[in-house]
């Protein structure tokens, strides 16, 4: 695994208790970054021995604007600044369009879209003050392809795969990325999204084998494959890449 130099940088990773968030935190720590790990409860792997560098853990409800602002203030107070924000917090939602309740819609959007909006908004001021920043969101192929299932062949595939509530929230994340990338470009801040395809994790344990066979590389992705792209986007030298939605999906969706 090629080391991506992030020496001396401070990275706030939301959803750090999840599989992708944890992989991102470890990859960035391997590159020399100091890591602020945030989740609903403090991630259990925050010690330097596990991350290989300086880290601290924080608990925050990312759908609560007061808690998100307090989180960012605490990270700035503890580390002095925030160079990178990675919004990896997310929850899934399965099933057919007609089964999505308003309550389920709100539950998914609270974390997957509102939480991203709040975190991005909260780091703007400290990043502007520093004249530097890297924001990387975690989007999804489901924001682009209308879903992985093929209900015209097998309606049951939809019951075990991400649905329209999830896809719509992630599409919103993609849109936020484009807007903020333009607003912050003149301040030395880049904003990008990494859009994974199906990644082997607790969220995809029920993913139908028939859908795995649609992936040209023939398997689910790995968290470290997503983390590598995130770390690359956070590197100082990649200042000319902004407003991009970068696919990491094994060829499942090509655009």
Active site residues per annotation:
166
With contact defined as beta carbons under 8 Å apart, do 111 and 62 qualify? yes
Angle at Cα 211 formed by Cα 207 and Cα 213, nearest 5°? 120
> Dihedral (C-alpha) 247, 19, 160, 215: value to the nearest 10 degrees?
40
Computed from CA positions of residues 61, 65, 28, 109, in that sequence, does the dihedral angle turn out positive or negative? positive
Q: How far is CA 103 from the centre of its chain?
A: 23
Q: Report the DSSP pairing between strands 245-248 and 189-196.
A: parallel
């Amino acid at each position: 695994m090629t080391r991506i130099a992030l020496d001396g940088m401070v990275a706030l990773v939301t959803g750090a208790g999840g599989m992708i968030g944890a992989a991102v935190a470890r990859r960035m720590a391997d590159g020399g970054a100091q890591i602020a790990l945030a989740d609903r409860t403090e991630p259990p792997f925050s010690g330097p021995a596990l991350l290989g560098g300086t880290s601290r853990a924080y608990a925050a409800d990312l759908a609560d604007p007061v808690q998100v602002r307090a989180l960012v203030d605490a990270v700035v107070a503890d580390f002095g600044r925030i160079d990178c924000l990675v919004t990896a917090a997310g929850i899934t939602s399965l099933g057919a369009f007609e089964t999505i309740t308003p309550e389920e819609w709100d539950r998914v959007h609270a974390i997957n879209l509102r939480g991203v909006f709040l975190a991005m908004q909260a780091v703007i001021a400290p990043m502007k003050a520093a004249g530097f920043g890297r924001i990387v969101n975690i989007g999804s192929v489901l924001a682009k392809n209308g879903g992985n299932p093929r209900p015209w062949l097998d309606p049951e595939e939809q019951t075990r795969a991400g649905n329209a509530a999830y896809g719509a929230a992630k599409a919103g994340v993609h849109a936020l990325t484009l807007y903020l990338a333009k607003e912050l470009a003149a301040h030395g801040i880049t904003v990008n999204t990494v859009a994974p395809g199906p990644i082997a994790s607790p969220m995809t344990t029920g993913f139908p084998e028939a859908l795995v066979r649609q992936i040209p590389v023939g398997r689910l992705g790995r968290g470290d494959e997503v983390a590598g792209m995130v770390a690359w986007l956070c590197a100082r030298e990649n200042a000319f890449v902004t407003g991009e939605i970068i696919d990491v999906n094994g060829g499942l969706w090509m655009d």
